[in-house]
Amino acid sequence: MAESGEEWERKMFYGEYRHSLDEKGRLTIPAEFRHILEKRNPRRLFITKGLERCLFLFTEQEWRKEEERFRNLSFTYTEARKFNRLYFSGASELSWDNQGRVLIPAYLKDYAQIQREVAIIGVSNRIEIWARDRWERFYSSSLSEFEKVAERINEIS
């Protein structure tokens, strides 16, 4: 049974994929993620500095939500100004070619310490792009804390 446009709008990004940048430094978006992006018909993608030195990749719709949320932070707070400067100054608009490849700006690859091997992670409303070795270290060091983190999150929600 075919899924409606509304069902595709609700689909999120899940899973972990391992890819390599091609000889021109382009990253191929996993086919599973491309299908979602194509059905949502985004005109643009937005990429920026993420936390723990990964990159965040958003559809235009999700980027606009992020933009609105952070724009509403009061600029009178030092931390809000600092965060917005770092987050938005690192942002770049991307589009993908017919093979589903994007060219990540060099300054973002430097930030994320990406050389060639990457891990592409679906995190609900965004895609994270990690240098593969950094992702593997993060994952292995965090996995043992998974249950404790879940308990702490439950306490604050």
Per-residue confidence (pLDDT) for residue 113, from 0 to 100: 98
- Range 21-40 average pLDDT: 90
The reply to whether 139 falls in a domain is: no
Alpha helices in the chain (DSSP H): 5-10, 31-40, 60-71, 78-89, 106-112, 132-143, 146-156
Give the pLDDT confidence of 80-104 residue by residue, as tens digits: 899 989 999 999 999 889 899 999 9
**Angle subtended at Cα 40 by Cα 42 and Cα 61, rounded to the nearest 5 degrees:** 55
Going from the C-alpha of 85 to that of each of 4, 43, 61, 139, the distances in angstroms are 39, 25, 21, 28
Band of residue 8 on the pLDDT scale cut at 50, 70, 90: very low
- Inform me whether the pLDDT recorded for 126 exceeds 90: yes
CATH number at 17 reads: 3.40.1550.20
The reply to whether 82 falls in a domain is: yes
Q: What percent of the chain has pLDDT over 90?
A: 62
**What is this structure's pTM?**
0.87
The reply to whether 154 falls in a domain is: no
How many domains does the structure of the chain reveal? 1
Give the pLDDT confidence of 34-68 residue by residue, as tens digits: 988 887 766 689 999 999 999 999 998 899 999 99
Residues of the domain holding 88:
10-132
Per-residue confidence (pLDDT) for residue 132, from 0 to 100: 98
Higher pLDDT, 33 or 75: 33
